[in-house]
Amino acid sequence: MKIESYKVLSRFAGISGFQRIYRFPNGYGASVVDGRSLHSYPFYTEIAVIMFKGDSNDKFDLVYDTPVTNDVIITDGLEDETNYLEQIKNL
């Protein structure tokens, strides 16, 4: 299954930012923010690992204790972003 098929929500996120939420069958998900003006250095997207609360696609907590990362991930391109999303999907 393609990563895009796991996208459950898209919305604006702050000044010139855009957020996509992915929900995977393992209960984890990812918040992916494209908001280049939010940082003073160039990046493609910012990814946070999330855990959903119940069945709602917009209620979740950030998770900082996975093998993928213990922080927010800064990506430098679509290939990098997709790689991290696959890792989260496979937790």
Quick check: 70 and 82 in contact, CB under 8 A? no
pLDDT for the residue 44: 81
- Reported as a single tens digit per residue, the pLDDT across 27-58 is 999 999 986 656 666 678 899 999 999 999 99
Quick check: 7 and 21 in contact, CB under 8 A? yes
Quick check: 45 and 34 in contact, CB under 8 A? yes
- Reported as a single tens digit per residue, the pLDDT across 71-83 is 999 898 899 999 9
Q: What is the pTM of this model?
A: 0.90
Residue 7 neighbours by CB distance under 10 Å: 17
